[in-house]
Amino acid sequence: MANEKLHHAKAAKNDEFYTQYADIQREMNAYLDFNPNVFRDKTVLLPCDDPEWSNFTKFFAQNFEAFGLKKLISTSFAAESKSYKTDWQPTLFERQNPAFDADKTGIKGKIFTLTRGENAKADINALKWRYLDGDGDFRSTEVTKLRDEADVIITNPPFSLFRRFLEWIMEVPKNFSIIGNINALTYREVFPLIKANKIWLGASISSGDREFIIPEEIVDFSRFTGVVRKDEKGKSVYFQKVMGVRWFTSLEHGRRHQPLTLMTTADNLKYSKHKEIRETGYQKYDNYNAIEVPFTDSIPSDYNGAMGVPISFLDKYNPEQFEIIGATESEGVGFSNGLWKEESRIAQPLVSGIKKYKRIFIRKRG
């Protein structure tokens, strides 16, 4: 199972899931469609990366001039600092470079930069690189200074460190776009930011899954459930499908300003494509002061009270159309904004004694 693969990756701190070029391109294009100058005159930092072949680095290097970037910075984490065991060897790219140092290659991170006016040819081949003083951990003083220099931070951070990575970004804060699991929406570090409209879900992934690339040297063949394809050079590339991933961002895109087209309560009860709505209607929770709406497309347009909706609602959330007022209790934090009936002692929402999955509570604006 793909979710099982992600679980084992978290447990082993093996977070080497690399994002495909097309997935990066689709998301960045959504920001550019909304604001063509979103990256103009900006310094973009790509931490937690592997700049020698990372698709994030490749994408922004190839589009450096088109986007009008001021500077591109990409950093990597030292190979020997990663907790999994590999037969890692420095690449030919690194060994043939005059900056190569056999004593540093395994224990030092690397930094790649592309700066307007300094590189005659702004693409992946023009990237300058050197060893960092440390191992490249994003929490280090060295990389944190790069964070402070940047205007925008974009990456697929280690799954096991998503909470800490987001906190690290928000310490400043900076504009960003990062990949995480949809369940992070109810983390204590994340939901208050969603509710306050400081971050939101990206445009290009919704209600689906994505394939990530796994380097061959760390593939656990006893658990691998993905597919193997050949690249243009005939080399085997390993892809693992991961469910429930999303872009988390503070960059604007058009989809989040598109209102949902909804039916009235009466029309839903009569015409909804969901049998559950037609037969049972909208039930009240036993332990929350709200009604249960199990499907985003079944939100009644004429209901003004609190509604519990699936967390995937945030894929289509328009802040001008709805207000987020709370979420089901999580991690001992009072997210429900008074809607929870504490005497129930059950954090999950109940309908006729049956537990429902995590819910976001919303109310119609206007």
Per DSSP, which regions of 41-101 are E strands?
A: 43-49, 71-76
Q: Each residue's pLDDT tens digit in the chain (366 positions)?
A: 344 444 444 433 455 678 989 999 999 999 999 999 999 999 999 997 676 668 999 999 999 999 999 999 999 887 665 544 455 555 656 655 666 666 666 678 889 999 988 765 655 666 778 899 998 899 999 999 999 999 999 999 988 899 999 999 999 989 999 999 998 998 999 999 999 999 999 999 886 677 777 777 667 777 777 788 877 777 877 778 888 899 999 999 999 999 999 999 999 999 999 999 999 999 999 999 999 999 999 999 999 999 999 999 999 999 999 999 999 988 777 899 999 999 999 999 999 999 999 999 999 998
State how far Cα 185 lies from the chain centre.
10
Q: Distance between CA atoms of 351 and 292, rounded to whole angstroms? A: 8
Q: Distance between CA atoms of 122 and 128, rounded to whole angstroms? A: 11
What are the start-end ranges of the H helices in the chain? 2-12, 21-34, 55-62, 64-67, 92-95, 141-149, 162-170, 191-195, 265-271, 275-280
Q: Which of 45, 335, 256 is nearest to 169 (CA)?
A: 45
Tell me the chain's radius of gyration from C-alpha atoms: 23
| pLDDT score recorded for residue 162 | 93
Per DSSP, which regions of the chain are E strands?
A: 43-49, 71-76, 110-115, 128-131, 152-155, 175-181, 200-201, 209-214, 227-230, 236-243, 245-249, 291-292, 307-310, 322-327, 350-351, 354-355, 359-364
| pLDDT score recorded for residue 84 | 47
Its sign, for the CA torsion 117, 120, 123, 127, is negative
| pLDDT score recorded for residue 1 | 39
| Full-model pTM | 0.87
| pLDDT score recorded for residue 221 | 73
